Structures are given as C-alpha cells and as structure tokens.
Amino acid sequence: MRHVLTTCVYCGCGCGVYLREENGRVTGASPSRNHPVSRGNLCVKGWHLHDFIHSPNRLTSPLMRKNGELVAVSWDEALDFTAQELTRIGVTTSQQGIGVLSSAKCTNEENFLLQKFTRAILKTNNIDHCARL
C-alpha cells in the first residue's frame, strides 16, 4: 500500500490530498495535514475523490462511429482518422473552420500543448475552455 500526495481535481481551492494505492487500484483519499489549503480537512467531494477512477463506466478503448454506431477501434485507426479529418477540414475552410475546446479539468501541461497544437498546427486561434461556465 502506498499513499501518493497529489492535488484534488474538484474546485479551485486546490487541496493537497493523499491517494491510497493498493495493487494498482486507488482505494481511498485523505487530506494532507500540513498543506496550506487543506490543513487536514477535505469536503465531501474530496473524501470521495477516488470513487470515479475505477468506475465501470470508464471508457477503456478508442471509439469510432461506423454506420451510425460508436464501435471500439485501435488507437492507430482513431488517431489516423482524426488527423486526416482535421487536415482535410482545415484545408477546405482555410483553417478557420476548426474549433478546439480545452479543459479547466486538465493539467497546465496539457492545456499548453493543446493551445500549441491549435495555433502551430491547425493555424487558428479558435481555442477556448469553460472558464466562464
């Protein structure tokens, strides 16, 4: 059993929280006692931070729409098709027809990469996220 110190994914408070890891599964969450925000406390969402991680509803393989249905496909197929469609529609709309939504749930590093991808590759500034929602 390990306790891994990380940062809560719920609200903007940013509590320091330990995830309890047992045999490859996250089985619990508890507050950091010394963290300046959590100071040994969590809200009800924080204490149940681990609940969604192993939910049976998690997506576990890429999906593609074929004959109207989403079916499981390989990563290569999903990535190749996405790259091909984004390239094609970028060309037909002079780069202005593609929109990208980034996420206030994802890390700084991922947000940075996605805006770099949008600006440097898709050649558009059509990128936003739900900051205002």
Partner 1 sequence: MAGLATTFGSGAMTNAINEIEDAEVILVIGSNTTEAHPQIARRMLDAVDKGAKLIVIDPRRTRLAECATLHLALKSGTDIPLLNAMMRVILDESLADHLFIDMRTENFAALRAMLYRLDLAEVEKITGVPLSDIRRAAQFYARARRAVICYCLGITQHICGTANVQSIANLAMLTGHVEKEFTGVDPLRGQNNVQGACDMGALPNMFPSYQAVDNGDYREKFERVWQTRLPATPGLSLLDMTHGGPGGPIRAMFVMGENPLRSDPSLTKVEETLAGLEFLAVSDLFLTETAALAHVVFPAASFAEKSGTFTNTERRVQLVRQAIPPLGDCRTDADIIIALSNRMGYAMAYESTAEIMEEIALLAPIYAGIRHDRLQNSWGLQWPCWNTTHPGTPFLHKYYFTRGKGHFVPNDHVVPAELPCQDFPFLFNSGRIYHHYHTGTMTRQSALLNRECGEALLLIHPDDAARLKVRTGDRLCMASRRGAVEIKAEITDQVAVGSVYTNFHFGETPINRLTIAAQDPVAQCPEFKVCAVRLEKL
Q: Tell me the Cα Rg of the chain.
A: 19
Least CB distance from residue 119 to partner 1, whole Å?
5
Least CB distance from residue 89 to partner 1, whole Å?
4
Q: How far is CA 37 from the centre of its chain?
A: 23
Least CB distance from residue 57 to partner 1, whole Å?
5
The answer to whether 16 and 37 are in contact (CB under 8 A) is yes
